[in-house]
Structure 1
Amino acid sequence: MRKGCDTLFWNRKNQIPTGIGAADFAGAGSPLKFNSVEFRDGQQSLIATRMTTEDMIPLLSRMDAVGYDSMEMWGGATFDVAIRFLKEDPWERVRTFKKYVKKTPLKMVLRAQNLVGYKAYPDDIVEKFIEKAAEAGIDIFLIFDALQDLRNCESAFRAVKKAGKKIEGSVQYNISPFHTTEVFVQNALEQEHMGASLMHVEDMAGLMTPNAAYELISALKKALKIPVHLHCHCTGGMAEMAYWEAIRAGVDGLDVCVSSMSMGPAHPPIESFVSALKGTSRDPKIDVGQFKSINKDFIDIRKKYSNFETKLIGVDVGCLEHQIPGGMLSNLESQLFAMKLYDRLPEVLEEVTRVRADMGYPPLATPSSQMCGAQATTNVLTGNRYSMVSKEIKDYCRGMYGMPPGPVDPVLLEKALGEEIPSTKKPADLLEPGFEKAKAESSCLARTEEDILTHALFPNYAPDFFKVKYGL
């Protein structure tokens, strides 16, 4: 036998190597789980969230049969895009999914106190929204706060528990002087104590290196009693390597897209990992053949929405600096393109890096990514940094979004607030109850409690949407 061959044996039946390499996984014997994100973050990253429910329906039964652990299909940008651009009721999308998806739990992404909007909402709005979302068919609430200020998650956690649904906590991975493995682990532990039954690690900008993935997942698995899932975007070209190292570290699940909706600013393809793990202790035992027809239909959908297709094909190593998430990149592209200013995108991305530092290094999850991106765009187009400061940045500096990870730059603070002193209180504690007020404001058009919530979240867009919905 040749030198070295005594450590590797060939399994002819399965045509895969067995032995040391095949067993080199923490958590051996535990099949890897997958969360489908095509209908939410996948399309948000690739086609600016423009896919309609009608286009999704033909795929749902086949996607339900794949064997996913969950299907993320609501929340994020899906809600406001539905009412603003698609003129369809986002609440009906959940009910429609529930008709076709019989086995796979449905998941939504909830921006904690910001829900599916871009600011903090009163506790009564948070509680009612979660109650109605659970009634519509959401089984798992993936709750995150963009600043990782867990005070902003308390009301949402309580409401999900009351509804009897599952809480998935979230750690927003990013790189800054204020974010370390120890900080991420401590934050995750606090969420576990608050009631999370699953922990989600979100690498929204595709920054995570393979070594960082192994280190963080290993630390979380050691510290937590609950399962850990990893979510990476392929923007930086390292997501698949990061996933493999996470598997070695014992990660319980991965967020994936089918291959025709993968890569670029989206997510790694499920087929690659199903194939790579075949015959190992982490084998999910999912049939790759079933993706053929699914991929064909998604290809057709992408062609239909080609006008919204991201231009960022391949790898953008610049994400290691600007740290903008995949979904934000595609929307920023489309906005600049519509303004006939797409050639200024590199300047905007460079300015994002500077603005984020000025803001105290917030993770660029929604809504901090939108705030940072919009302010960076304004700075570039005016040619005078902070000569115009957005209302959202002013509220951020006031403390209306929570506590920034690091100190806000004094120049930005002065430009935004002048002599005003920022608040250190929980943002929701500064808000009056909002449901009855929204009910009164929308009484001429809203017919259900879901309508009232839609108005409460997006009062500028809801009236036009209701007129279309009810044929007024």
Structure 2
Amino acid sequence: MDTTMRDAHQSLLATRVRTRDLKKSAPFVAKNFSQFFSLENWGGATFDVALRFLHECPWDRLSELREIIPNIPFQMLLRGANAVGYSNYPDNVIDGFCQMAVDHGMDIFRIFDSLNYLPNMKVGINAVGKANGVISAAVCYTGDVADKSRTKYNLDYYTKIVDELVKMGIHILSIKDMAGLLKPQATKILIDAIRQKHPDLPIHLHTHDTAGTGVANYLAAFEAGADIVDVAVDSVSGMTSQPTMGGVVAALQNTKYSTGIDLEKVNEYSAFWEQTRLLYAPFECTTTMKSGNADVYKNEIPGGQYTNLQFQAFSLGLGSQFENVKKSYIEANQVLGDIIKVTPSSKVVGDLAQFMVQNNLTAKEVRERGDELSFPSSVVEFMQGQLGQPHGGFPEPLRTQILKGKKRIDGRPGADTEQLDFDKIEAELRKKFGDDIIRKCDVMSYVMFPKVLEEYIDFKKQYGPVELYPTRVFFVGPDLNEMLDIEIERGKVLHIVVLAISDLMLATGEREVFFQVNGQLRSMKVKDKAAIKDHKVQPKADKNNKNQIGKLKFDYDSTCFD
């Protein structure tokens, strides 16, 4: 499977790759890589980021890619009972989401739970089954099954989970090695054990190449009986991304596992992304991360979290202490009971690690002072049971100390949540934004991310379809006197030239931008966000917010006061 369109850029480029650039590579992929098992191009963080930062509709991304690539199955990442969000949703939301995804072109759903909590996974498995999607159930891997001294997540633990998933009627078993912790010997042991018990079950291995052992693991996996592995095209592979596509294809040539994929076409595909990656320089993981690192076997930080955690450390003023953050990550994990770490449970560990570094706390001090410390909200929610039940239970007495009497959830979170009324939500959104704007898919996006969807609609109403701008212009803006050719529909092109920018208007924090559209002079006022940081600007009241007070203007006939 090719992860270039999802996990690769989520791991290396902060998930910022735009639909525009994905569509540019899509015809080449459709023409040359029909042998791919699937393309992973949706789910995970892409849904949230598309709306929040790229001002794009993720549903449009899916349907547009399906139109260009009709001949390769699409695959997405589904967080069990959380879908693509970070909350617990009623079952009818997960059912509706999966059906809508299938209707927009999705085929295979990789369903996982951050704690391998089977009741959460069952919600997603049932929903995908109802939607007639392909059920790929993922077992999240941590620990080291080759190390007999590590008994919590041993071989027996994993094979029992697989047995239960098979009983649920899954189509594919996926091993999700989200931190790249597998080593060749452990890979052989794990996959061979599953293959011996389930000879006809398709086995799909996913890993990250943080330590640089990814290709070696895949060779071991094929020898042990794996059927499918995840790769990213060379120029967006390696480090916290997936192992290199070209490397795996070349390593399997002239063996019984030969892929039949043309290595020259892989090189062409890689060349496109090598150039495209330059457009995303502001989000490059290589700004702070220069190479892979085998210390992942100690800290167990997932590939998708590593660079984000590093960025957060810099933003909190802890950049020079990132090594301490990684060490605290190890301690935080043990404090929490040695849990499986992948979104959203990995955030719990990361938040606690940064909390410990910021407050100069050791693991011993956290345990001793649990009743007096004010823990991050994610830690409190985890201890309540809002993510589900971890293998081995919660650590006591720390859990009791952290909760301080707060409600505990002992079963599946969301099991007793009332079903959502989609028609009611749609009516409310149409009333607020207009019938011509709200679609069924917008309602589902609102259910996942209410505030983000509203901000997306407001932005689009104000600025229009910014997804039409070239990527460099979208992120950093146009140069003065640069001609932009924006095709708003087939055969209809706007020629835009920015001519001049005024001095800062101190009262409003704005600058006036003068530009031409198809030769006609226009101007508009734009907030200078950089300048606003240095100048106090009084914002206008939001007329839709009843809690804000603005200056009232009255039109009256003075005779009424006589």
Q: Which deviates further from its counterpart, 435-444 or 152-161?
A: 435-444
Q: State the Cα distance separating 1:136 from its structure 2 match.
A: 0.7
Return the offset for 1:423.
Answer: 2.5
Q: In the alignment, which residue of structure 1 is the partner of 2:291?
A: 314
- For 1:343 and 1:372, locate their aligned partners in 2 and report how far apart those are by CA, in whole Å: 20
- CA drift of 1:98 comes to 0.3
Match of 2:417 in 1: 431
Question: Is 1:448–2:439 an aligned residue pair?
Answer: yes
Indicate whether 1:467 and 2:433 are aligned: no
Q: Judge which range, 247-256 or 58-67, deviates more.
A: 58-67
The equivalences for 1:4-23 within 5 A come to none
2:421 and 2:110 mapped to 1: Cα distance?
A: 23
User: Residue 202 of structure 1: SS of its match in structure 2?
Assistant: strand
1:181 corresponds to 2:159:
no
Gaps of 5+ in 1: 1-34
Matched, 1:93 2:61: yes
Match of 1:373 in 2: 350
Going from structure 1 to structure 2, the CA distance change for 1:441 and 1:181 (only over 3 Å counts) comes to: farther
Residues 181-220 of structure 1 mapped to structure 2, 5 A cutoff: 181-220=155-194
Match of 1:406 in 2: 392
Distance (Å, rounded) in 2 between the aligned partners of 1:351 and 1:435: 43
Query: Which has the larger displacement, 217-226 or 66-75?
Result: 217-226
What is residue 241 of structure 2 aligned with on the other side? 266
Within 2, Cα distance between the matches of 1:127 and 1:429?
14
Q: Which residue of 1 aligns with 2:323?
A: 346
**1:334–1:213 distance in 2 versus 1, CA, 3 Å:** same
Larger mean CA deviation between 249-258 and 382-391 belongs to 382-391
Give how far 1:288 is off: 0.4
The answer to whether the 8 A contact 1:160-1:167 is kept is yes
Which AA in structure 2 matches 1:193?
A: K
Contact 1:107 1:139 in 2 (8 A): yes
After superposition, the Cα gap between the structure-2 partners of 1:422 and 1:209, relative to the gap in structure 1 and judged at 3 Å, is same
Q: Which residue of 2 aligns with 1:151?
A: 119
RMSD of aligned Cα (Å) = 1.8
CA distance in 2, matches of 1:209, 1:86: 37
Pick the aligned partner of 2:14 from 27, 44, 48: 48
Deviation at 1:339, TM superposition (A): 3.6
Post-superposition offset of 1:331 = 1.4
Moved more, 88-97 or 302-311: 302-311
After superposition, what is the alpha-carbon deviation per residue over 1:296-331, rounded to whole angstroms, capped at 9, x for unaligned? Answer: 111112211122111323221221122111111121
Equivalent in the alignment of 2:128: 160
Partner-residue secondary structure (3-state), 2:139:
strand
1:80 counterpart residue number: 48
Query: What amino acid maps onto 1:200 in structure 2?
Result: S
Provide the rounded CA distance (Å) in 2 between the counterparts of 1:460 and 1:355: 31
CA distance in 2, matches of 1:235, 1:187: 26
Instruction: Say if 2:386 and 2:413, in contact at 8 Å, map to a contact too.
Output: yes
Q: Secondary structure at the match of 1:410?
A: coil
In 1, the alpha carbon distance for the partners of 2:460 and 2:407 equals 44
1:207 counterpart letter in structure 2:
L
Relative to structure 1, the CA distance from residue 422 to residue 178 in structure 2 (aligned partners, 3 Å threshold; closer, same or farther) is: farther
For residues 300-339 of structure 1, the aligned pairs below 5 Å read 300-310=275-285, 311-339=288-316
Instruction: Provide the C-alpha distance between the structure 2 equivalents of 1:337 and 1:86, rounded to a whole number of angstroms.
Output: 23
2: CA distance between counterparts of 1:117 and 1:177? 32
Question: Does the aligned pair in 1 maintain the 2:94–2:123 contact within 8 Å?
Answer: yes
Deviations 1:164-188 (A, max 9, x none): 1100010101016421112111111
Distance 1:435 1:298 in 2: 43
Encode CA deviations 1:388-439: one digit per residue, 9 max, x unaligned. Answer: 3222222211112111112322253134212446322111213222344644
User: Does the CA-based 8 Å contact 1:170-1:188 persist in structure 2?
Assistant: no
| C-alpha separation in 2, matches of 1:397 and 1:359 | 9
1:390 and 2:376 equivalent? yes
1:440 is displaced (CA, Å) by 5.9
Say which one has the larger Rg: 2
Q: What is the CA deviation profile of residues 105-154 of structure 1, one whole-angstrom value per residue up to 9, with x for unaligned ones?
A: 00000000011112221111111111111111100011001111110022
Which runs of structure 2 are paired with 1:209-288 in the superposition (5 Å)? Answer: 209-224=183-198, 225-288=200-263
Which string of whole-angstrom CA distances, capped at 9 and with x for unpartnered residues, describes residues 44-79 of structure 1? 111110100001111112122222110001000101
CA distance in 2, matches of 1:276, 1:470: 51
Partner amino acid for 1:251? Answer: A
Cα offset, 1:91, TM superposition:
0.7
Task: Tell me how far 1:471 sits from its aligned partner.
Answer: 4.2
Give the conservation status (yes or no) of the 8 Å contact 2:347–2:378.
no
CA offsets, 1:178-233, max 9 Å, x none? 21112111111211221211111111111111100000011111122311011111
- SS at structure 1 position matched to 2:7: helix
Query: How many residues align structurally?
Result: 438
- Distance (Å, rounded) in 2 between the aligned partners of 1:362 and 1:120: 19
What is the CA distance between 1:441 and its match in structure 2? 5.5
Q: 2:36 matched to 1:62? A: no
Q: 1:141 aligns to what SS in structure 2?
A: strand
The aligned amino acid for 1:91 is W
Letter in 1 for 2:142: N
Relative to structure 2, which stretch is displaced further, 421-430 or 319-328?
A: 421-430
Q: In structure 2, which of residues 93, 103, 109 is the aligned counterpart of residue 125 of structure 1?
A: 93
> What is the TM-score of this pair, normalised by structure 2?
0.75
Point out the more displaced range, 390-399 or 324-333: 390-399
SS of equivalent to 1:276: helix
Give 3-state SS (helix, strand or coil) of 1:424's partner. coil
SS at match of 1:169: strand
How far apart in 1 are the matches of 2:52 and 2:321?
Answer: 26
Q: Which runs of 5+ in 2 are unaligned?
A: 144-149, 464-562
Tell me if structure 2 keeps the 8 A contact 1:359–1:407.
no
Q: Per the alignment, do residues 80 and 185 of structure 1 end up closer, same or farther by CA in structure 2, a change over 3 Å counting?
A: same
Separation in 2 of the partners of 1:353 and 1:160?
35
Aligned sequence identity (%): 30
Determine helix, strand or coil for the equivalent of 2:225: coil
Question: Residue 39 of structure 2 aligns to a residue in which SS?
Answer: strand
**In the alignment, what sits opposite 2:336?**
359
User: CA separation of 1:177/1:452 partners in 2, compared to 1, >3 Å: closer, same or farther?
Assistant: farther
Q: State the AA in 1 paired with 2:156.
A: E
The amino acid across from 2:171 in the alignment is S
